[in-house]
Structures are given as structure tokens and as C-alpha cells.
Amino acid sequence: MAEHPDRVAVITDIHGNVAALQAALERTDELAIARVYCGGDLVGYGPHPDEVCALLSQRAIPTIYGNYDYAIARDLEDCGCAYVTQIDRDLGQRSVEWTLAHTDQASKDFMRALPFDLRFDIGAVPVQLVHGSPRKVNEYLFEEKPARLYERLAATEAARVLVFGHTHKPWVKQYGGVLFVNCGSVGKPKDGGPRGAFAILEAEHDAVAVMIERVAYDTASVAAEVRAAGLPAEYANQLATAA
């Protein structure tokens, strides 16, 4: 299949799940998508932080940092995660401590050098890639938030397409002349579907068409690796439920 210069894939929220990342990249290769970008949160919750960083580096994939990457790269114990319950906070703290202890210095250096955002064009359409929002790396842009929030955000946005992640739930909507694209999560989806999610964006005349692609991988094997690594079993269970 010939490479399409105006087709782009954006993957985000891998969270130490190298098997899911490999599945996503295999799919982009099958689709002959030469331009692949990563929207951050490479690590946390999953058992293979170093392997994820190494694969992105080897593939020379343009990557931005997520809130988790920012913390681990700087040996911080606060990942900037908005946990709702004390149970979630306790589990999250165990994940941070594990990830700090099991991420090597080369991976931390790699993440520390990543930028906050990336800007590029798809065809003639300008695109901005951020992790949470253009305002803050850990701001959650949920689909159900009021339209006026997105209209205000669109009014300050120079790009015509804003691509992001962080919520682990994909959605695509237009507000105020800006197309908002949440890619979902490759390694830890939370929309009830265990297959990894990423976005494919393609130039279509003077606009951009978006498809959310899903890829299957061996979630049972990764869940076993999560447990064997000493990470909370709850994170292993979530790979199957995508909750």
C-alpha cells in the first residue's frame, strides 16, 4: 500500500502497555501511515515503561509529554491525576511508586526532553496536539462538558484541529470552527471497549476527516504481566473491562 502524505495517526495514553503500542504501530504500518504522533502518558499503571519509551525513540515518533511522564521524569510523587475516591488515590500512589522505581534514567531523560505540544499540518489544515488541553497538561476535556467551554476554547485556538487524550475516552466534535479530537487510549481505555484506541486523521479537501481505530492485543497476557510485576491487580482487571 502506498504511503498517504495527508494521513496521520495519533496515539496517546499508552501507560506502560508495550503490547498495545506494538499492536497500534503494526496497524499504522498496515495502513501505510507514515506520520505517527504520540500524545503522551507513556508510563504509569503498566509493566513496561522502558520498553514503551525505547520503542517510541527507535521509531522516531514525535511525542509530547503527559502529566504522568512529567512527574516520573522529575522523580515527583504526584502524577497530577484527578482520583475521585481514596481507594483510587491509594492505588494510584502504588502505581507512581512502582513506576518511579522501575523506570530507568534513559527513559526519564527521554520523557524530560519532550515538549508540551506539537503543531503540524494535515494537508493545508493546521493542527495542535496536546495531552490534556492547550491550557494545562492534566485538564480533562470530557465530551459531556458544556458546549460553552469548548466554544471559549475554540475562540483562543489558532489551529483548526485540536487533538488530545488524557480522558481515555475517544470523541470527535466541532465547536466554533475548531474540530476537537480525543484519541482515547491505546494502553488503558476507559470507554468499555478493551481494544486499544487511536485516531486517524486525513485531509479531505479543505477539512480533516477523523476515524477512531481500535486494535486488539492479548490483554490476558498483559494482565498477567501487571500482576507479576507487583502492580495492583485492579489495573490488570481493568484491561479486560476498560472501566
Tell me the pLDDT tens digit for each residue of 3-30: 666 899 999 999 999 999 999 999 999 9
The angle at the Cα of 11, spanning 8 to 17, to the nearest 5 degrees, equals 150
Residue 207 lies in a domain: yes
Tell me the pLDDT tens digit for each residue of 77-127: 999 998 999 999 999 999 999 999 999 999 999 999 999 999 999 999 999
Q: What pLDDT does residue 3 have?
A: 63
Buried b (16+ CB within 10 A) or exposed e, 81-91: beeeeeeeeeb
* 2: confidence class by pLDDT, cuts 50, 70, 90: low
As a whole number, mean pLDDT of residues 192-198 equals 97
Interhelix angle 219-229/233-241, rounded to 10 degrees, is 170
Q: Are strands 7-11 and 196-204 parallel, antiparallel or unpaired?
A: antiparallel
If one counts the domains in the chain, the total is 1
pLDDT at residue 1 greater than cutoff 60: no
Handedness of CA 149, 199, 139, 123 (dihedral sign): negative
pLDDT at residue 157 greater than cutoff 90: yes
Q: What pLDDT does residue 106 have?
A: 99
Q: What pLDDT does residue 177 have?
A: 95
Provide the CATH number for the domain around residue 78: 3.60.21.10
d(CA 9, CA 32): 10
Q: What pLDDT does residue 205 have?
A: 86
Residue 2 lies in a domain: no
pLDDT above 90 as % of the chain: 95
pLDDT at residue 188 greater than cutoff 60: yes
- What range does the domain containing 119 cover? 7-241
**Mean pLDDT score of the chain:** 97
Residue 140 lies in a domain: yes
Nearest alpha-carbon partner for 41 in 95, 106, 122, 105 = 95
Residue 1 lies in a domain: no
Residue 46 lies in a domain: yes
